[in-house]
Homo-oligomer: A and B are copies of this chain.
Amino acid sequence: MCRKKFWILLLLVIGIGLAHGQSRRIINIPDISGYKTLKCDFHIHTVFSDGTVWPTVRINEAWEEGLDAISITDHIEYRPHSTDVVADHNRSYEIAVPLARQKNILLVKGAEITRSMPPGHLNALFIKNANLLDRDDVFDAIKEARDQGAFLIWNHPGWKAQQPDSTLWWPEHSNLLANGLLHGIEVYNSNEYYPEALEWANEKKLTMFANTDVHGPMNVEEGQHRPMTLVFAKSRTEGGIKEALFNRRTLAYFDNTLVGQSALLEPVFFASLEYDKAPLRIANGINKVVYLRNNSDLDYELELVQPGVGFDAPERLTLKAHHVTPLSLSGNSDEIGSTREINLYYTVKNMFTGPVDNLIVTFTFKNLP
């Protein structure tokens, strides 16, 4: 039998070398004044509920993809592998936490309270003991989470399985909200976008989330990224995340789109760009090119809101990620010669503040004679 022990040691030592990912991607979305921009996914499953991967896989995926924080949120009420996987509701967190520490991934302890609509599925983050959420009555479970200090998110509010005809806000949700039992809402889940949730978040002061709800292995294609929640935190700590979530400093990031409040979208937009802010010297018939360098991973799609007074500017402009795009301004009347400040108003077609509202940004340049 000592023969067996020998190779077990070898396997343990060597296993690391065989591990898949040897390097960590960098997600380029800039920090903004006063805050670190943390890349997070707060809705994830493992074999300990109805997922199909071991908890450590979630840490490795997050590390390789460049995330800062995740929460494993296994269902309390739904555990189809329980014949073979025998453990309590805290176990997936316990298994993942040593690797999370080693890889410097912030692992937020969570669970998914999984009920029929209303109120549907809710994620409880920053909980202390998931086992105590296993209660017959859903409101008892939610209150228990709250008593543990949880941040509570309404998941996939427009999920067809629970809201087949239209995406409704139920009295039960008003009730939760009124009692401090609901703090956030997913405006994006997996591959579905819920514009109604964006509207509710604005009206009812809920924090917005984009999460994966991933059950199987993540499969992020080259050049793509998983849906994620950007958290603007004072520090890269669990406490920093918690403070930011309760103060609604998040954006939902999916595909090439950012969704959230303009107070966060605008600084992200301008922090992504590098360009010469020196005064221009545009006059009638005189042209000037400003080179906009976009250091972020987003292609910003701009559309001119209104024509410039005394100058021409491009109606449409794509600021391609990691490229330099010229912005060409040319005077078209004598008026421009005496204008001392040039303002350019663009709507950013892939940054949403509401279901049909885009961020509007203003480029301002001094103009010299």
Interface residues of A (CB under 8 A from B): 1, 3-4, 6-8, 10-11, 13-15, 18-20, 22-26, 47-48, 50-54, 56-57, 60, 77-78, 81, 84-87, 91, 95, 102, 114-116, 136, 138, 159-162, 190, 213, 215-219, 221-222, 289, 291, 293, 318-320, 322-326
Q: Which of A18, A51, A213 has most B Cβ within 10 Å?
A: A18
Return the chain B residue nearest A52 by Cβ: B54
Contacts A23-B325, A84-B86: A114 and B7 contacting too (C-beta < 8 A)?
Answer: yes
Q: Is the CB of A14 within 8 A of B161?
A: yes
Return the chain B residue nearest A320 by Cβ: B23
Q: Which of B15, B18, B190 contacts A18 (CB 8 A)?
A: B190
Q: Is the CB of A57 within 8 A of B217?
A: yes
Q: Which of B15, B162, B217 contacts A50 (CB 8 A)?
A: B15
The 6 closest A-B pairs by CB, nearest first: A217-B217, A52-B54, A23-B323, A14-B161, A24-B324, A23-B320
Q: Told that A26-B322, A217-B217 touch, could you supply 11 new A-B pairs with CB distance under 8 A?
A: A7-B115, A18-B190, A23-B323, A23-B325, A24-B291, A25-B322, A26-B323, A47-B54, A52-B54, A53-B54, A85-B86
Q: Which of B47, B115, B161, B162 contacts A47 (CB 8 A)?
A: B47
Return the chain B residue nearest A213 by Cβ: B18
6 of the cross-chain contacts (CB-CB < 8 Å) are: A7-B115, A22-B325, A47-B54, A84-B91, A85-B85, A217-B217
Determine the distance from Cα of A23 to Cα of B291 in the docked complex, in whole angstroms.
10
Q: Is the CB of A20 within 8 A of B52?
A: no
